[in-house]
Amino acid sequence: MEPPAPKDLDRGQMTIAPNRTGADYRLVPFPEPLFEVDLEKDIRVAMRDGVGLYADIYRPSKAGEQLPTILIRTQYDKAPYRAPASETKSGLAYMFAGQGFAVVVQDIRGRFSSEGTFHPAESDADDGYDTVSWVASQPWSNGKVGGYGCSALGINQVMMSQRRPAALKALLPQGPGGALRWRKFSVLVSGVPEIGWAFQWFVHNTNKGSQPAPDVDLYEALKALPLADAADRVGSPCTDWRDWITHETGDPWWDKFPFFDENSRPDVPALFVNSWYDTDVGETAKLFNMFKEQSTSEKSRRNQFIIISPTAHCQSEQACTPHIVGERDVGDIRRDYWSIYLSWFNHWLRDEDTNGDFKMPHVQYYLMGANRWKSADSWPLPGTLFVPFYLASGGNANTRKGDGKLSTTMASGPADNYHHDPLDPVLSLENFEVPPAPGRRVELRSPGNAADQRQVDLRQDRLVYTSEPLRSGLEVTGPLKAVLYVSSSASDTDFVVQLSDVYPDGPVYNLRTGIARARYREGYNEPRLMMPGKIYLIEVDMQATGNWFRPGHRIRVQVSSSSFPHFARNLNTGGNNATETTTVVAKNTIYHDREHPSHILLPVVQ
């Protein structure tokens, strides 16, 4: 059984690049420029407090006196954008300007050429508002501004949307899930520091820009305790690492940051872009819905869109084919994003047709396994059934050689136990360029990759529950959540749940991994320690996925209490895991009987 054919898409806005030279597939190229481009460097833009932020301005020659503007606010240095347009991201400013837009690329506060002191996320909302207002006041501007950029640049757009500058007419935020209050710049996941990427980011990307990043073994720095000292151990220039890592997620200290939440009221059409293996894809989908529900105008509510590819972080536009995400081949995933993006900005930033809605499916996603693009009108997808798949065993689900089963039928059986030793954590293989080995330096990468889990599934502290081979295919697309009934010998511990696709020929590829810290089971503002041996209900947010489990494949759920260095370790003491050095070995138990039906909710698309 094959998945249903995808809905037809507007082929004028979404095209696949041709196969040019047999097996030599290439990126979808930038469009040919329509105009030559003039560049003004280092223009000072004064903020409301007098601090000057410096920007480069790209303007197309002979394109008219008043131009629509695309704004890119970056903490990663505006200078690389001066490179000529090519098939790489470095030529984006020239590409957009060559199509008739003014492009403003600005170093944010305290970074590279700009004045002030840099603190992640702290001033992005107000500085974004002031910059948009300045752009709209320039004689070369038509008074309409659109935002563009990925990761911190996407978060920046969401931040400034809350201030509703009058000239801001469209956003194109990619990978922006960290803008949400509970994600805190993507540093915390369910209250747990996501250090696999965050530590690298703080070490390499948060100093003034004049000091080189240290060339050190980051993995070894994260293994040592306390975690709060990790940046000091590698000789990193001064960063906010210690503050961000030591404050609990419900601490009022976070209130000074303009994160997006249920009280935010944007008023701007937005085209969100993310990918299944990005750390925040579920949060980006939540932002898409929040913009639809919380926008102040009907026009904004009607014009929210999202595109989800199967790449790692900020790689959608850079995909070749066949595309390999980590170790998994997901086929030909290319789309002509540049045509989509130009259509988007032309629609909202020029005078023509700005009152009409943008014509495109609201949700477009690549279904991994089926290896095809599909579309829908809403998220979760219409017709989705959230089907519980229950954990079961004879009390010996430890390792993939155990007796753990996964089924839609609830069954009773003895609980499964394992010991969580924080000094010997389960390794997140998707984090490593080189697997850990004695005497070998380990290179870390973003956790947004697929890695064969067979090796780590042999650990005694990892419970493995696997379905029977599927007789017919199953589309699982949408939000993911695990519901566990647990107990522990410790006063606090973590529970990690992973969803994987088991191939008939052996490989086991992770789809999503989620974590829950037991102390936050009743909310971030009311942390509560556990009573040893008492059974608790724990819900694990696993973000989202879009995967076709082919006939003959099996669905696997792995449960443990660590995934390092993807997530910071819980030391099991009940204290501050960032500042302590003492650890406790915890005996953790997963229950799966009629009174305690532990399960994962899979969004099955009909």
pLDDT score recorded for residue 318: 85
Whether residue 463 has pLDDT greater than 50: yes
What average pLDDT does the segment 38-43 reach?
Answer: 97
Whether residue 439 has pLDDT greater than 90: no
Each residue of 202-215: pLDDT tens digit? 988 766 554 555 66
What average pLDDT does the segment 429-443 reach?
Answer: 76
Quote the CA–CA distance of 237 and 219 in Å, as a whole number.
Answer: 18
pLDDT score recorded for residue 432: 83
| Neighbouring C-alpha atoms within 13 Å toward the C-beta of 98 | 15
Predicted confidence band of residue 12 (pLDDT cuts 50, 70, 90): very low
How would DSSP label each residue in 356-414? SPP-S-SEEEEEBTTTEEEEESSSSPTTEEEEEEEEE-SS--BSTTS--EEESS-----
Given the residues 124, 267, 313, 541, select the one marked as catalytic: 313
Given the residues 278, 336, 457, 494, select the one marked as catalytic: 278
CA angle centred on 280, ends 604 and 342, rounded to 5°: 95
Residue 201's SS3 state is helix
Each residue of 135-152: pLDDT tens digit? 999 999 999 999 999 999
Whether residue 25 has pLDDT greater than 60: no
pLDDT score recorded for residue 320: 79
Fold (CATH) for 385-605: Jelly Rolls (2.60.120)
What average pLDDT does the segment 214-231 reach?
Answer: 89
Residue 192's SS3 state is strand
Quote the CA–CA distance of 29 and 15 in Å, as a whole number.
Answer: 12
Residue 237: φ, ψ to 5°? -55, 160
What b-and-e string marks burial along 226-248, b requiring 16 or more CB atoms within 10 Å of the CB? bbbbbbeebebbebbbbebbbbb
* Domain layout of the chain by residue ranges: 37-191+248-376, 385-605
Identical fold, 37-191+248-376 and 385-605 = no
Give the start-end residues of each E strand in 115-213.
141-150, 168-174, 188-189, 192-193
Percent of the chain whose pLDDT exceeds 70: 92
pLDDT score recorded for residue 447: 73
- Answer yes or no: are the C-beta atoms of 17 and 323 closer than 8 Å: no
What average pLDDT does the segment 458-474 reach?
Answer: 98
Given the residues 151, 264, 446, 488, select the one marked as catalytic: 151
More confident residue, 205 or 292: 292
C-alpha to C-alpha distances, 517 to 198, 479, 514, 537, nearest whole angstrom:
18, 19, 10, 12
Is 278 annotated in the active site? yes
- Answer yes or no: are the C-beta atoms of 379 and 285 closer than 8 Å: yes
Quote the CA–CA distance of 507 and 502 in Å, as a whole number.
Answer: 6
Each residue of 184-198: pLDDT tens digit? 989 999 999 999 989
pLDDT score recorded for residue 209: 52
What average pLDDT does the segment 329-334 reach?
Answer: 92
What are the structure tokens assigned to 247, written together? 């404050």
- Centroid of chain to Cα 121: 16
Whether residue 13 has pLDDT greater than 80: no
pLDDT score recorded for residue 212: 52
Predicted confidence band of residue 433 (pLDDT cuts 50, 70, 90): confident
Quote the CA–CA distance of 246 and 576 in Å, as a whole number.
Answer: 7
Whether residue 440 has pLDDT greater than 80: no
**Cβ contacts of 588 within 8 Å, gap of 6 or more:** 417, 418, 419, 420, 486, 487, 488, 489, 490, 493, 495, 561
Whether residue 81 has pLDDT greater than 90: yes
pLDDT score recorded for residue 89: 55
pLDDT score recorded for residue 86: 59
C-alpha to C-alpha distances, 406 to 1, 393, 403, 593, nearest whole angstrom:
21, 9, 10, 13
Whether residue 131 has pLDDT greater than 60: yes
The candidate with the shortest Cα–Cα distance to 185, out of 265, 122, 118, is 122
Predicted confidence band of residue 16 (pLDDT cuts 50, 70, 90): very low
Percent of the chain whose pLDDT exceeds 90: 81
The candidate with the shortest Cα–Cα distance to 100, out of 34, 46, 179, is 34
Cross-strand partners of 147 = 71, 171
CATH architecture entry for 37-191+248-376: 3-Layer(aba) Sandwich (3.40)
Tokens 């819900």: give the residue. 539
For the chain, the first-to-last Cα distance in angstroms comes to 13
- Answer yes or no: are the C-beta atoms of 585 and 374 closer than 8 Å: no
Is 61 annotated in the active site? no
Whether residue 435 has pLDDT greater than 70: no
The candidate with the shortest Cα–Cα distance to 69, out of 168, 154, 153, 165, is 168
What average pLDDT does the segment 552-580 reach?
Answer: 97
What are the structure tokens assigned to 295, written together? 């926008």
- Answer yes or no: are the C-beta atoms of 303 and 344 closer than 8 Å: no
pLDDT score recorded for residue 445: 79
Is 313 annotated in the active site? yes
Average pLDDT, the chain: 91
Query: What does pTM read for this prediction?
Result: 0.93
pLDDT score recorded for residue 60: 97
